[in-house]
Structure 1
C-alpha cells in the first residue's frame, strides 16, 4: 500500500497503519492542477515505489496522479475508471494537468493506452465521438449491460484500475465532490468480475473528504476508512 499524503487525512484512518507514505504536503501548486515542474517532482517522489501495488491518492483533487503512475506502464493496457465524473474535460488553464482533464491527457499522449472504460459517470458523447473505439461508458452497477459485456469479455489486455470514491452513494463514502449511487457491495462485485479475468498492473483509490470538513464529522472519516479497507483487501489480491 502506497499513500501519497497531501492533506494529512490518512493519519486519521486506521487502515493505513502499515502503509508506505510518500510525503507531498510540502509541495505547492498541487490542488486540482499541477504544472510540468510539479508533475516532474511528483513523479520523482513516486519513482522508488512499485507500480504493481494499491496506491491511495488522497482527495479527488489529486486524481491526476493516476496519469503519473500509468506513465510507467511499458505495454498496451486498458484503464478502468470508477468515477462519478469522466475526467475528460479540456484543460481550463492552458495545458495544465488537472483532476478534471487527466484522462483526456492520457488518451492524447499515451500511445500504450488502448481503451478507457468509465463506470458510474454520465456518458460523454462528445468524448466518445472524439476517441472512437477508445472510450466506453458503463453504469455503476454489476447488472449494467455495457459493464457485463466489458467485464465478461475474454481479453488479454492488462488493466490499470482507478477508483474515485465519489462513484459511491453518500452512505458508503464521504467526498468533497458530488456523488453517485453505487453501493460499496456493488463496486466490490464489479471489481471482482474484473479481477477474475484480467491481469492488473496497478490500482489506485482516491476521494478522501476535505480535512477541514472532516474535522467536524468523524463519522465521515470512519466511513471512508471502512470503504478504503474493503477496497484495499479486494485489490491487493490481484497484485
Structure 2
C-alpha cells in the first residue's frame, strides 16, 4: 500500500505514520473555504507537478478544504471513462451541492464531480444539515438530482418538498444511522463498480470527534463498516474534517465564513481536538489499507 499524503494547508493533521507531506500553507488564504476557478486551476497544476505517481489516502485538513476532493477525483480521468465508470461515495453532514457564485468552495464541489463523464453516481451519506431542507431549496443545485446522478442519504430533515417536485428518488431519509448505512450497503451489495471514497468527519457525532462544522450522528464504526463492505472496490480516498483556525485576509471570505458561525477554539482545546482527530484518522487509514484494491494516482 502506498504512503498516505498530507496536503498541509493548515497544520491540522498530526502524527500520521509513513505519510508524505506537501507544504501548502502558502495557499491557505487563497484556497480555504472557497476560491476562484482560476486559482483552483493553479492549485491543480501545482499538485500535478508535485504529487507522487502513486499514493494512498489523502488528508486535506479542515473541512474548509473539502473541495480539494474534486481535484483528486479528476486525476482518475485517464483510467476511467463513461464506459468504465466509478461511483463516488461521500460521508458528510452537508450536501456540498450548493450554489456558489464566486467560483468553487467546500460546499459546492459535489455538483462538479457528478458532472464528470466517468462518474456514474455520487452518494452523500449521513446528512443531517438543514442545507437540504425547504429553507435552502434554491441553494441546492437541482440538475444532478434530476439526472439521477446524485443521492442524498439523510436523517432529521423534512424532505417532503423534494417529493412534491419529483426529486423523491434522490432523497433517502432514515430515522437512525444504522438504518441509513444498512440501506446503502444493501443497495451496493450487487454492484461491482469501483468506488472513490471521500470522508468528512463532520458526519460523525460530537461525542466521537470535534470538527469546525455542525456535526451529524454517525459513529466511527459506520464509516469503518462501510469501508469493510466496499472492500476491494475502493480505488482512491481522502479524509477531511480536521480542526484548525484561521483569520481570512479577504473581507468577503470573512463575511461568508461568519455566516456558518464557526466557533473560536482556544489553543488548549484545539490541541485536544486534534489529538482525537489523529486517532480517528489512523483508524480510517488502517481500514483503507486493508480494503483498497490499489493506490490512488
TM-score, normalised by the number of residues in structure 2 = 0.71
> Which residue number corresponds to residue 67 of structure 1?
70
> Which residue number corresponds to residue 148 of structure 1?
185
Structure 2: runs of 5+ lacking an equivalent: 134-139, 155-175, 247-264
> Which residue number corresponds to residue 54 of structure 1?
57
CA distance in 2, matches of 1:112, 1:157: 11
> Which residue number corresponds to residue 89 of structure 1?
98
> Which residue number corresponds to residue 215 of structure 1?
267
In proportion to residue count, which structure has more helix? 2
> Which residue number corresponds to residue 167 of structure 2?
none
146 and 132 in structure 1: CA distance in 2 versus 1, 3 angstrom threshold? farther
50 and 232 in structure 1: CA distance in 2 versus 1, 3 angstrom threshold? farther
* Per-residue deviation, 1:124: 4.1
> Which residue number corresponds to residue 172 of structure 1?
208
* Per-residue deviation, 1:22: 1.3
> Aligned-residue CA RMSD in angstroms?
2.3
> Which residue number corresponds to residue 26 of structure 1?
26
CA distance in 2, matches of 1:52, 1:79: 18
* Per-residue deviation, 1:235: 1.1
4+ runs deviating over 6 angstroms: none
User: How many residue pairs were aligned?
Assistant: 230
2:249 equivalent to 1:200: no
Deviates more, 1:78-87 or 1:208-217: 208-217
Please point out which of 258, 275, 281 is paired with 1:228: 281
2:147 equivalent to 1:132: yes
* Per-residue deviation, 1:133: 2.2
> Which residue number corresponds to residue 36 of structure 1?
37
Asked whether the 8 Å contact 1:142–1:189 carries over to 2, the reply is no
> Which residue number corresponds to residue 118 of structure 1?
124
TM-score, normalised by the number of residues in structure 1 = 0.87
Asked whether the 8 Å contact 1:87–1:103 carries over to 2, the reply is yes
Structure 1: runs of 5+ lacking an equivalent: none
* Per-residue deviation, 1:46: 2.3
Asked whether the 8 Å contact 2:90–2:124 carries over to 1, the reply is yes
CA distance in 1, matches of 2:107, 2:242: 16
SS of residue matched to 2:121: strand
